[in-house]
Homo-oligomer: A and B are copies of this chain.
Amino acid sequence: MPYRPTERTEARRVAARGVIVDAATELVAHGGYREAQVAAVARRAGVATGTVYRHFPSKADLLVEVFRRAARREVDAVASATAGREDARDALAEAVRTFARRALRSRRLAWALLAEPVDPAVEAERLAFRRAYAAVFAATIRDGIARGQLPAQDAGLTATALVGAVGEALVDWVAPASPTTPARDAGALLQGLVTFCLRATTDQEHDADVHHHAA
């Protein structure tokens, strides 16, 4: 389908932005925000520094876009992990595992998303990112309540608390300054987080009943 000239121009603009954002994201994933200086981003993207500034008036504008795209990928991955699961507890466990596994696989990027000190404009995106995660957890909890798999609770509060809990535990693992003791066991972390989150969402009386009937 042939583009009209303005469409063609717009498509080119979007593609050029994408190349710049990808280059900046790779730099952030390697060494954090300070590696994504405009000159370095331009070099990696194979464009002139002026081109970067034409698309992003300031470095903060560029980093906001880097953050948004990377954050959306993470939230989408967690949402996919919960999709189509019959049991809300399975869905929650898989959401937590996906959140944590992805962070442990790309620690430097996870640090940038979760906690790396950064320009206030990017900080503001971090709050939106955490709310998007919480919305995924809240939807799963609401499904579980509706299906009788989870006890009645304030799904929004539980979801927000879960995102805080998992995020905070991961920060300790992905912080570049963290002591990298070889004794740390990622499997135990995943299991510990899943256990924590399932306990926190499940009424103990309710659960005691389930165990009682099963026994």
Enumerate chain A interface residues (CB-CB to B < 8 A). Answer: 115, 117-121, 123-124, 127, 130, 134, 153-154, 157-158, 160-169, 171-172, 175, 188-189, 192-193, 196-197, 199-205, 207-208, 211-212
Q: In the complex, which residues of chain B have a beta carbon less than 8 angstroms from the beta carbon of A208?
A: 204, 207-208, 211-212
Residues B204 and A154 in contact, CB atoms below 8 Å apart: no
What are 14 A-B residue pairs whose CB atoms fall within 8 Å in the complex?
A118-B123, A130-B171, A153-B192, A154-B188, A158-B192, A160-B168, A161-B168, A162-B165, A164-B167, A204-B207, A205-B211, A207-B208, A208-B208, A208-B211
Top 4 closest pairs, chain A to chain B, by CB: A164-B168, A117-B123, A117-B120, A161-B165
Residues A161 and B171 in contact, CB atoms below 8 Å apart: no
Number of copies: 2
Measured CB to CB, the closest approach of chain B to A72, in angstroms, equals 20
> How many angstroms from the CA of A121 to the CA of B25 in the assembled complex?
23
Residues A168 and B169 in contact, CB atoms below 8 Å apart: no
Residues A171 and B127 in contact, CB atoms below 8 Å apart: yes
Mostly helix, strand, loop or mixed at chain A's interface? helix
> How many angstroms from the CA of A120 to the CA of B115 in the assembled complex?
10
Q: Which of B124, B167, B199 is in CB contact (< 8 Å) with A199? A: B199
Q: In the complex, which residues of chain B have a beta carbon less than 8 angstroms from the beta carbon of A196?
A: 157-158, 161, 200
Measured CB to CB, the closest approach of chain B to A164, in angstroms, equals 2
> How many angstroms from the CA of A180 to the CA of B175 in the assembled complex?
34
Q: In the complex, which residues of chain B have a beta carbon less than 8 angstroms from the beta carbon of A172?
A: 160
Residues A163 and B168 in contact, CB atoms below 8 Å apart: yes
> How many angstroms from the CA of A169 to the CA of B163 in the assembled complex?
9
Residues B169 and A166 in contact, CB atoms below 8 Å apart: no
Residues A199 and B188 in contact, CB atoms below 8 Å apart: no
Given the interface contacts A161-B196, A208-B204, A208-B211, does A124 sit within 8 Å of B130 by beta carbon?
no
